[in-house]
Chain A
Amino acid sequence: MNDTTETLSVDTADMPPDPTLTAAPTAMKNARETPEEAGPGVIETKNMDVFYGDFKAVADVSMNFAFNEISALIGPSGCGKSTVLRSLNRMNDLIPTARTDGEVLYHGANIYAPGVDPVEIRRRIGMVFQKPNPFPKSIFDNIAWGAKINGFKGSKADMKDLVEGALRQAALWDEVKDKLNESGLSLSGGQQQRLCIARAVATQPDVILMDEPCSALDPIATLRIEELMLELKENYSIIIVTHNMQQAARVSDRTAFFNVELDTKGQRTGYLVEFSPTDQLFTSPKEKATEDYITGRFG
């Protein structure tokens, strides 16, 4: 944590978060390799099951999310795609009955190993939620708070730079630079969502999880967020849940299709059908179920 401050004081907009992270992955996408072939990614799940109490929400998910890519999770409602997303930074811990089996490796370390601090995980793996949820505070404080609680040691001027940098990365700076002291709630829905993205970016994570970030927005605001995602992936790995297949097709590099099956007791358990490069999944899916789903929707 101590070495964070040096980079934080610089305008983060022009700063790739980490040179070591950006090196490899660009080639990977063009080669259309499956992640397994490309070696370990930023997050890797191994036979992950998620339970709520006795109810198994998703079963046996093994995925490998590559560095600096946008991975999209799609599937019918109730297929557990949001559950999977939330188990990647242990947000499911907030539900008292939730339990995760199997492994989730982050840079090779199992985040569900005993002794792991969920707070440490969430600092590194940020999250943007379905509905924009800015704090009822000023725009400035919305962004500064995350940095403060994570031990930001810079001066006031450094904090200003950090806030400006985060807002620039979220393409919001020009719209709000004159009203940083106004409440975050005074912004429009789309602006609020970009504020939430700026807020997540300001704590300098290397992965950003997005849970249907555009579902509460109009088409124009949605477009802006999508453009933003494409810019952000230069510096971050992004995993997004979307109910909108066009969106997955437009922005993502890789897409995972989840489906749901009813067991004998009538419980609905989600499972991963396939995880392929996006253009491949939408043009020549490996699985019949995927094809049915995308053609049904598109048709």
Chain B
Amino acid sequence: MTTTAPEKQTRDYFPTEDEYQKLLGRRTRFGHTVRLTLLLMLTIAVVGLGILLYTIIDDSFGLVAVINENEPEDILAAYGYDPATTTLNDLNKEQLVEVLAGSVSSGVGRRLERDQRFFEDRLVFETQEKWDEVCASDDPPAGCDGGVRSKGNVVDLVQERVIRPDIVAASGLTGSILNPDRFKEKVQQDFVDNPDNYEPFTYEDVRYTWRAWFSWKFITSPASDRPEIAGVRTAVLGSIWLVIITVLFAVPVGVGAAIYLEEFARPNRINDLIQTNINNLAGVPSIIYGMLGLAVLVRILEPITSGSLFGEGAPNGRTILSAGLTLGLLTLPVVIISSQEAIRAVPNSLRQAGMGLGATKWQTVRSQVLPVAIPGILTGTILAVARAIGETAPLILVGAAGFITVSPSGPFSQFTALPIQIFQWTSLPQEEWRHLAAAASLVLLVLLLTLNAAAVLLRNRYSRRLT
């Protein structure tokens, strides 16, 4: 009698075999649905990244509508060449220099010549006496070191100074390939709608050419107020200087602090405070570090950061040194935390072995713990520095200048940096600048990707060596 009772209960409270199979089917189907939903959501993130990269690449290349102030054909005809058979590239260097000299003012010509000579054996714009005098001065221009402009360089100068192309519209890569006519119609329509914008030119003057905004020339040209010739050299150099200073500050201090906290700090109130404080600092928004840099490094420490204490002459504290140290402060907590993780991962048995041999704590740390931790420390540091390169907000605060055409020459230079350049080009309304911003973003991403790849390679190489 007692044996039948539980069976009865089962029949009462649980579904029959048939019903259960149905329920199981529903559960399975529901599981599949949810699984697909999750996957869909995950795909959104990937698609987002894809579109982001696509947008940047799309804007870095494409068709542009150009109006030349002087058409190359007209120039060639004016100098007695047949435009039908000759192009600028067919001219030799002497002929090109003649074209250039015929168009630029003598002042511009002299400046170009002082930057770099046109010919080894003769001067074009300068007189010999004046040249000797200039070169004998305390601060001789770059052209005095010798070195002669190549033909390609002169072609570029003719392009830039004589033809003077003006980009009036630009299109993205996809649009240029799939539907170039729509772009052309749009340009034409704008000439109809706003003819005043293009005075004295008309739609007949428009030429369409392909343009790679992202190119070697873009990377090596200095900044300019003309989008046709603007490049990121000054910004790239500025970013490189910033990284150097950031690394020089954040790596020794950060790794030192990590060693202290992991190996030497006994759990007392001061050390607990330091650790909590570092965790807190890691969560402080980067713009707050910018404000610290502005108030302390730029303003209060101006005699140091402007270099006036060392006889250098920046007008104020808005220098590479201030900005680099600001980024250093910002990176410091990240370097400390990732180095701590690397040091913590070193097996305790190595410490015991070292100490057991009668080594002091420092000897053990230096000879046994650090060598094992270094790959991890390096990987974390590279990633932290990569993050610092992309930081924009703190640089805005410490006053990275937007428009600088002179390459930075040292820690006391005023400067601009890649992210700042991207920020400023993005905020300009004209379309051309947007393409420059895209190309500059591409430069920045390539730089970061290289650093990340280096970190991964390093990690793989060392982890193989250790095992």
Contacts and interface: CB of A to CB of B under 8 A. Distances in A.
A and B touch in the complex (CB under 8 A): yes
B352 A149 contact: no
Interface string B352-374: 11111111100100011001100
Given A96-B267, A135-B368, A136-B466, A129 B357 contact: no
Nearest to B364: A149
Given A96-B267, A129-B349, A131-B349, A91 B358 contact: no
Given A129-B356, A146-B359, 18 more contacts: A89-B356, A91-B352, A91-B356, A96-B266, A96-B267, A121-B358, A122-B357, A133-B347, A133-B352, A133-B353, A135-B350, A135-B368, A136-B371, A136-B372, A146-B358, A149-B367, A150-B357, A200-B356
B349 A150 contact: no
Interface of A: 89, 91, 94, 96, 119-124, 126-127, 129, 131, 133-136, 145-146, 149-150, 185, 196, 199-200, 203, 205
What DSSP secondary structure best describes chain B's contact surface?
helix
Interface string B428-466: 000000000000000000000000000000000000001
A122 B356 contact: yes
B355 A122 contact: yes
A122 B371 CA distance: 23
Nearest to B268: A96
Interface residues of B, number: 22
B349 A122 contact: no
Interface centre among B347, B349, B351 (most CB of A within 10 A): B349
A149 B347 CA distance: 21
Contacts of A91: 352, 355-356
A12 to B, nearest CB: 15
A224 to B, nearest CB: 20
Contact of B357 (A94, A146, A185): A146
A127 B367 contact: no
A130 to B, nearest CB: 9
Contacts of B371: 136
11 contacts: A94-B352, A119-B360, A121-B358, A122-B355, A124-B358, A126-B357, A131-B349, A133-B349, A149-B357, A150-B358, A200-B356
Interface string B256-270: 000000000011000
A210 B350 CA distance: 16
A59 to B, nearest CB: 25
Interface string B79-120: 000000000000000000000000000000000000000000
Interface centre among B355, B371, B467 (most CB of A within 10 A): B355
A3 to B, nearest CB: 17
B355 A123 contact: no
Nearest to B353: A133
Contacts of B350: 133, 135-136
A26 B371 CA distance: 44
A172 to B, nearest CB: 16
Interface in B20-50: none
Contacts of A145: 357, 359, 367
